[in-house]
Amino acid sequence: MSNDNNPTWSLSGFGDEIDPDPKIQAAVMLALGAKHIEVRSAWGTNVVELDDAQLAELKAILDEAGLKVSAVASPIGKVDVSLPAEHEVTRLRRIIAVAKVLDTRYIRMFSYFRAEDQSPEDIRDAVMERMVLLAAEAERAGVILIHENEKDIYGDTPERVLDLLETVNSPALRAAWDNANFVQVGVKPYTDAYAMLRPYLEYLQVKDAIAGSGEVVPTGRGDGQLVETLTALSQDGYTGFASLEPHLAAQHELGGFSGPEAFGEAARAFRSATDAIGITLS
């Protein structure tokens, strides 16, 4: 039962986990009660590679469905840190243009892979140099980069995510929180990371995972401390997006896939958890 004290969060989700076709993505998101969608790829093409005509068609499809875009889920920073700094700055400029067309201010991104013989400390300076450039680009454009704590990038542990955010120190760089990814690097998300990163937490990505195997599972069925995290967020005034990224069928380097059925299962598990806490999803 909803009342005035209950927080309302905006439900979204990675459309390409449902189907490559944005019309099917939109239909499923609407069926799940969402008014937003997160755009990573359409017709099997990543957002950074969509041409202007494809982008216009995608926008028309989403407009017709009445869906707004919560974020562009870009691959920025999901590359080896040995690439020249300008490589990702150039790609970000294109993504910013995409975000403007899709009318969203959030761009999801990452903090670089490293060679097998390198430690996170070895690449720290190069990562910071690149992140400062990217954040400056975002500031100029009036968009916000949300950094996802992806496994095996520089910012995959709470301490290094905090290091990134404090060092870059830009209003255009904030944290996209992913419980499952923390589990996959041996972190207890709520216990080890929540208090540390909450001041920067701007966007919630919804997935759970089992410690040890790292297997991704629906909300509440893993070790991601999702109930504790969601409860704390609801109590301290979070009112942003909750974006479903179930990864239940297949995972690969640049994303995951669930299919409509598994995606629906993930959405129902999440809604069941938020209902129990008293969070309204719209």
Q: State pLDDT tens for residues 91-131.
A: 999 999 999 999 999 999 999 999 999 999 999 999 999 99
Query: Can you give the C-alpha Rg of the chain in angstroms?
Result: 18
Task: Check residue 257 and give its pLDDT.
Answer: 66
Give the domain ranges of the chain: 8-281
What count of other Cβ atoms lies within 10 Å of the Cβ of residue 264? Answer: 17
Asked if residues 236 and 198 have their Cβ atoms less than 8 Å apart, the reply is: yes
Any idea what DSSP says for residue 44? T
Asked if residues 42 and 50 have their Cβ atoms less than 8 Å apart, the reply is yes
Determine the Cα–Cα distance for residues 249 and 199; give it in Å rounded to an integer.
33
* Residue written as token pair 């909300």: 219
**Which among 39, 47, 51, 33 has a CA at the least distance from the CA of 15?**
39
Per-residue pLDDT, 146: 98
As a whole number, mean pLDDT of residues 168-181 equals: 98
Report the run of H or E that residue 191 belongs to, with start and end: none
Residue 278 has pLDDT above 80, yes or no: yes
Task: Using pLDDT thresholds of 50, 70 and 90, give the confidence band for residue 4.
Answer: low
User: What per-residue confidence (pLDDT) applies to 252?
Assistant: 44
Q: What is the pLDDT, as a whole number, of residue 261?
A: 86
User: pLDDT (tens digit, 9 = 90+) per residue, 63-92?
Assistant: 999 999 999 999 999 999 999 999 999 999
Q: What is the CATH number of domain 8-281?
A: 3.20.20.150
- Are the C-beta atoms of residues 225 and 193 closer than 8 Å to each other? no
Banded model confidence at residue 1, pLDDT cuts 50, 70, 90: very low
Residue 78's nearest CA partner among 93, 69, 88 is 88
- Look over the chain and give the mean of its residue pLDDT values, rounded to a whole number: 94
Tell me whether strands 173-178 and 201-206 are parallel, antiparallel or unpaired: parallel
Average pLDDT over residues 2-28: 90
pLDDT in the model for residue 254: 45
User: 31-42 pLDDT, tens per residue?
Assistant: 999 999 999 999
Cβ-based burial of 169 (10 A; exposed 0-12, middle 13-18, buried ≥19): exposed
Q: What's residue 262's pLDDT?
A: 86
Summarised one tens digit per residue, pLDDT across range 204-260 is: 999 999 999 999 999 999 999 999 999 999 999 999 999 999 876 654 444 566 778
Query: Identity (one letter) of the amino acid at 4?
Result: D
DSSP single-letter state for residue 189: I
Helix ranges restricted to H, the chain: 22-31, 52-65, 85-102, 120-141, 158-168, 179-184, 195-197, 226-235, 259-277
CA distance 43 to 48: 13
